[in-house]
Amino acid sequence: MDILDSIILSFVQGISEFLPISSTGHLILTQWLLKMEQSEFLKSFDIIIQCGSILAVIVLYWRVLLKNMEVLKRIVIAFLPTSILGIIFYKIIKQYLLGNEKIVLWSLFLGGIALIIFEVYYREKKDAHEELSTISYKNAFIIGLFQAIAMIPGVSRSAATIIGGLVLGLKRKTIVEFSFILAVPTMLAATGLDLMKSWQNFSASQWDFLIVGFFTSFVVALAAIKSFLNFIKRYNFIPFGVYRLILALVFWLLILYK
């Protein structure tokens, strides 16, 4: 890895983190295109640069995070499933799932089909729930279970939580913002767990890559969040589903004929 690789990967992460297309999947496929050899540091890099995207959420939603205790309670409940399962399956995820292009492509493909089918049949109810602070604790926990599915690379944390919230009767904008805020403890915990286990193995140059990646993903994620919020006011997620299908098929061909 060099600085340019760090910038490219962080740019991809910042754009894709909050869209229903899987940032981890995109990072793994980008690394394949760049012919980067999978290593423990590269896997850690994929996890740690998410903190830049988290800072973007904090900048945009700091009032909610600091002042609305009712929302925070629900975020904590929603975070529980991923925190527990993440600790249990950390080694399996990092050793066998991260860096696996085939798992990513199947997840992107099947997830794309799921998004399209869901949007074709989904109709938002007139009485759809729109207050973050009054989401029931039960529904918050169920949304957390949906998020836990995204521990599989290529699934998309954003897509899983948003679809879960829509199924439970939340307004689209409400669950999208809940998903953004839920990313804060989820990614901080993932980064903290990885740093706790790996930081002593990083060289000075690798820390430079992480710092550059952090700031790049922050700036790009800030713009991506604002754009996504404007997008959902006018469109559904079918374009993202189609994109996922096309991306998976293109990479299947590239891998098949490399």
pTM of the model: 0.85
* pLDDT one-digit tens code per residue, 153-171: 888 889 999 999 999 999 9
Q: What pLDDT was estimated at residue 144?
A: 93
Top pLDDT among 219 and 126 is at 219
Measured over the CA atoms of residue 237, residue 30, residue 186 and residue 141, the dihedral's sign is positive
Give CA–CA dist 108/247, Å, rounded: 8
- Per DSSP, 37 falls in state P
CA angle 65, 67, 73 (to 5 degrees): 65
Residue pLDDT, tens place only, 205-252: 888 888 899 899 999 999 999 899 899 888 899 999 999 999 999 999
Domain ranges of the chain: 3-256
How confident is the model at residue 163, as a pLDDT? Answer: 94
pLDDT, greater one: 200 or 209: 209
Determine the Cα–Cα distance for residues 217 and 206; give it in Å rounded to an integer.
16
* Residues contacting 1, CB < 8 A, separation 6+: 36, 41, 42, 45, 206, 209
Q: Residue 102, Cβ neighbours under 10 Å: how many?
A: 11
Distance in angstroms (rounded) separating the CA atoms of residues 248 and 73: 37
* Segment 133-139 mean pLDDT: 93
Confidence category of residue 114, pLDDT binned at 50, 70, 90: very high
Tell me the per-residue pLDDT of 176-187, one tens digit each, with 9 for 90 and over.
999 989 988 887
Distances (CA, A) of 142 to 147, 165, 238: 9, 8, 24
